[in-house]
Structure formats: C-alpha cells, structure tokens
Amino acid sequence: MNKPFIVGIAGGSGSGKTFFLNCFLQHFQKNEVSLLSQDDYYIPVGDLGPEENKLYNFDLPSTIDNQLFLNDIKTLISGETVYKKEYTFNNPAAKPKLLEIKPAPVLIVEGLFILHFKEIAELLDLKIFLDAEEEIALKRRLKRDLIERGYSEDDILYKWHNHVVPAYKEYLLPFKTDCHNIVSNNTQLAEDIISISKTISEELKTKIPVFKKGL
C-alpha cells in the first residue's frame, strides 16, 4: 500500500471541528479514509470527584500520550491496522469501545495539539484550521457540555477561562498561519461548512493518484 495522504484537522473548543469533520467524511467511502482522534489518547487519570474534575486541566499537551498517538499514526502509514480503546471523557459509567482503525488512502488526524506536537505536525500533508470567534465558541461549548456531558455552567465557565482559552492561545493559535486552509465558522448555517468541506475534499482528491485511477 502506498503512503496515505495525511490530513490534519485542528481547532479550538467550540470551533465546529467535529461538525466539519463529519461533513468532510461524507465525501469519502469507508474504505477511502481512516480517522485517528487525539481524544482517544488522553492519559488515564482514574476516578475524579466533581471538584477534582473541575480543577484538573485536560487542556494541556501533557495530558496526551503523544508518543502512542505518533506510533499509531506510523502504524497506519505502514499499512497496518490500529486497535485502540475509545476515550470516555473520564466517565466511569461509560464502557469504552474497542476501535478498529484500518489503513486507507486518506488518513485524518484531528485534535487540539496535533500542530503543537512537532513530530506529528511534520507528517501532515494538509493542515486545516477551524476558526471561530471566542463568544460564539463559548456558546457552543456551553450547549455541548450542559446537555451532552452534564457539567454545571459554573464548571464550564471555570474551565473555559482558566484552561480552554489559555491552552488555545499557547498551543494552537501560533500555528494558525502555517495551515493550508483556515475555515472561518462563525455562522449557524450548516450549508456553509458542508460547501467548504466539499470544496476541500474535491481539491484533495486531485492530489492523490488512487482517486484519479478509481478504487
């Protein structure tokens, strides 16, 4: 198997990275693309009480097993399958699934620190940066964490101001200008992101021989 074309997708919390990623994936068949998410490489911290969970800073590069992350990227590049337990956001009630990630012509690597981790960043053939104004990003974060993760508004705001924003400014924002595509996502119009993801995916396919020949 030829080396996959590696796409890095980065963006701060509330930037709409997950929605963009899901739209992007719609433009490929299952056997054409594989996905490796930084979220599945958090170093386990054990059971945390509500106050401990509030104070623990998950928005630091040191919370990620970046060496294992890098090794699994290289495993996929070599044409081998990766098996990895999914991360359940420190929820003791959730039973993690065993993820089977098969090699494919396109490998997507996504996460907050993928540009900060130099060895990972150097492997990326295409870097996409999801950008959103801070006020809009916070509204999205509040909606997600209140509904999907059951956090209190006080906890969300504490993490936002003390963990999320400082980490974004230190570990992601400096790499924005190095990216090939900067996607501004300040609207609630899904059509905008759907259109942008289609354009980028079509341009990408012109660069990969296997898509020119057909699978």
Q: How far apart (Å, rounded) are the C-alpha atoms in residues 190 and 20?
A: 9
pLDDT digits (tens, 9 = 90+) for 50-74: 777 778 898 999 999 999 999 999 9
pLDDT digits (tens, 9 = 90+) for 80-139: 999 998 877 666 667 778 999 999 999 999 999 999 999 999 999 999 999 999 999 999
Spatial contact of 208 and 156, defined as CB atoms under 8 Å apart: no
- The total of other beta-carbon atoms located within 10 Å of residue 133's CB is 13
Indicate the pTM of the whole model.
0.90
pLDDT digits (tens, 9 = 90+) for 93-109: 677 789 999 999 999 99
Q: What is the pLDDT of residue 215?
A: 46
Handedness of CA 18, 129, 176, 134 (dihedral sign): negative
The CATH class, in words, for 5-213 is alpha beta
| Tokens 């401990």 sit on residue | 52
Q: How far apart (Å, rounded) are the C-alpha atoms in residues 79 and 199?
A: 28
